[in-house]
Amino acid sequence: MSRIGKKIIQIPSGVDVNVGGEEIQVKGPKGSLTTPVHPKVVYTVEGGAIEVGRVDESRIARSQHGLRRTLLANCIEGVTSGFSKTLEVIGVGYKVSVQGKKVVLNVGYSHPVEFDLPAGIDAAVEGSKLTLSGIDKQLVGETAARIRRVRPPEPYKGKGIKYADEIIKRKAGKSGAK
């Protein structure tokens, strides 16, 4: 039995969960999200909690059990508190700014790089830190990864765009002739 799949999901007050044939709709104070339903997974709503189970013990049912429970839990957490990722821009002359729904990055190229934010993602800048926030965990993480790809951190000086909690393994430079 999946340890993650066995956990019961508590539904906070103000959150409405509707289990349909094709997808589950979750509505809360921050917005609404949907997650797809798998035919090998069964959802039971009782009182203020949801229990996720599986139809049989096949390999597909076992693999989907924990996944679908986690996706549903992320939807519920997203519509109540939301998700955020923080990126740091490190380097001499490197800057980041937000102009409407665009993030403008000056990261050592001959031109500033403009990154259009997808719908549902908000950005805020504080010094050299860029904070992305939204209700969809997958979209927040994917947007942060795409911004990081503009100038990934390099191991010699540590310059580039990195996650706030990321640790960059540093390398020694050339030792020179003796």
Residue 176 lies in a domain: no
Same domain, 92 and 120: yes
Which band of pLDDT confidence, cut at 50, 70 and 90, is reported for residue 3?
confident
d(CA 143, CA 157): 25
Same domain, 88 and 76: no
Same domain, 9 and 72: yes
d(CA 160, CA 148): 8
| Helix, strand, coil in percent for the chain, rounding step 5 | 20, 40, 40
d(CA 50, CA 110): 53
- Mean pLDDT computed over 76-92: 95
Same domain, 7 and 70: yes
Same domain, 26 and 68: yes
Which band of pLDDT confidence, cut at 50, 70 and 90, is reported for residue 44?
very high
Residue 55 lies in a domain: yes
Domain of residue 115 covers 83-163
- Mean pLDDT computed over 170-178: 78
For residue 176, the model assigns a pLDDT of 66
Which band of pLDDT confidence, cut at 50, 70 and 90, is reported for residue 174?
confident
Helix pair 59-80, 137-148: axis angle to 10 deg: 90
Residue 169 lies in a domain: no
- Mean pLDDT computed over 129-145: 96
Same domain, 70 and 90: no
Half-sphere exposure of 41 (CA within 13 A, CB side): 29
Q: Across-strand partners of 84?
A: 133
Domain count within the chain: 2
Tell me what the pLDDT averaged over the chain comes to: 93
For residue 178, the model assigns a pLDDT of 59
